[in-house]
Every structure is written in C-alpha cells, then in structure tokens.
Amino acid sequence: MGHAQLRVAIVVPNATARRALASATRACGHRAALPADASALRACDVAIVAGHVAGDLLAIRRTAPDLPVIAVLPAVDRRAVSMLLREGVAGIVAESELEVALAPTILAVASGQLCIPRAYAAQAAQPQLSTREKQILGMVVLGFANLEIAQQLVVAESTVKSHLSSAFRKLGVRTRVEAAALILDPQNGLGTGILTIPTTAADTAG
C-alpha cells in the first residue's frame, strides 16, 4: 500500500552529508528539500538534522516550531537520546540503520508519533526515581553540597553519591548542574513535581 509523498527538509550544513540524506530521503519515496529561508522550511512536513544538531534544532525551532524533527546520529546512546528527546526531537536514526529505519521514521513523525530505536524506549518515559533519589535531587536543586545532604538525611556521604549516580543515569545527565537544569528548564524540563524535598524529621528518618 502506498503512502503520500512528504516534503522533507534536509537541514544539514555539511554538503556531503546533506547529499547523502537527500538521496536516502528520495529513496524512501519522499521529496528532499533544501530550504533557503524560513518560509520554505515552514512548507515542509518533516525536517532532518545531522552533525551540529543543537544549532540546527535551534534554527528550526525559531522559524518552524511545530515541524517534527528527525536526528540522524553517527552513534546512538542513552545520553544522546535523553538529550534529544528533551529538545523535542521526534525521531532518532543511527547512520548505520539509515537504509531500514529512515522511511518508517519519516512516516511516524509526520503522523505525530515518537520514533526512536527500541533499545532506548525507556528514555522516552518519565524516569522512575526512588524516594531517596527524589529527596537528594531536591536538595541538589536547592544548592546543598553532598556533605550537607548527608548530614540532613543522616546517611553517609558515600550513600548520597551512590544515589546521585543512580539518579543521574536515569535522567541521562552527568553532573549536578545538568540535573538541576533538566529539572528546572521551563520548556523541556521534568519539573520539580518529580522531587521529594524533606521538610520534617519524619521525612529524613527513612
């Protein structure tokens, strides 16, 4: 059964990569567009970015905020998936899987669906933090150091570090600053609702 031909914007600065992605897009039965201005970008159904993804995403969001975006990456990992999903990317394709994955990803994101490699499906869900992880992250957001958190919660500082490492893995971040930014970002952040900030002796006793 056939499908409608879509107009796919190839927003990729590197000429070689741009030609390769345009060719792959046409092989999927769609029209590859190289938009020269904002109006041309807004006329497209899907956009593809690769290489300097962050800068290209920002440019797209400024001119066509509702345009679904697919990121093509040389390598896909949990951190990259988490970051791109927070930035609003609707599809992620590894370069090595381009031939088999690009066509269904284009159709999926054009239909309003999220499409990422199955191995990273958990990254699309709200992170499942333990109560203690929520408490410690809450205190990190408030600016407490690890030793201060340990004293407040009456646990060893090594325990705090262990919980933070676990929470960072779940959030797809590496540092306290990245964790706080992810939680507090008004547009793409998780929001402080995921936190549990201890306020009484009963809260810190667990």
pLDDT in tens, 77-126: 877 887 788 788 999 999 999 999 999 999 999 999 999 998 887 666 66
Which H or E run contains 154? none
What's residue 1's pLDDT? 45
- Out of 23-37, 53-67, 108-122, 176-190, which region has the weakest mean confidence (pLDDT)? 176-190
Question: Dihedrals φ, ψ of 6, to 5°?
Answer: -105, 155
- Tokens 């690769």, residue? 50
- Tokens 């408490």, residue? 135
Class of the CATH domain delimited by 7-124: alpha beta
pTM above 0.85, yes or no: no
Token pair of 9 as six digits: 């914007």
Q: Is the pLDDT of residue 144 over 70?
A: yes
Which H or E run contains 94? strand 91-94
Alpha carbon distance 142, 179 (integer Å): 12
What's residue 19's pLDDT? 93
Neighbours of 105 (CB within 10 A): 27
| Segment 33-47, tens digit of pLDDT | 988 777 788 899 999
Class of the CATH domain delimited by 131-204: mainly alpha
Task: Tell me how many helices (H) and strands (E) the chain has.
Answer: 10, 5
| Residue extent(s) of CATH 1.10.10.10 domains in the chain | 131-204
Yes or no: say if 9 and 48 are a contact pair by the CB < 8 Å rule.
yes
| Residue extent(s) of CATH 3.40.50.2300 domains in the chain | 7-124
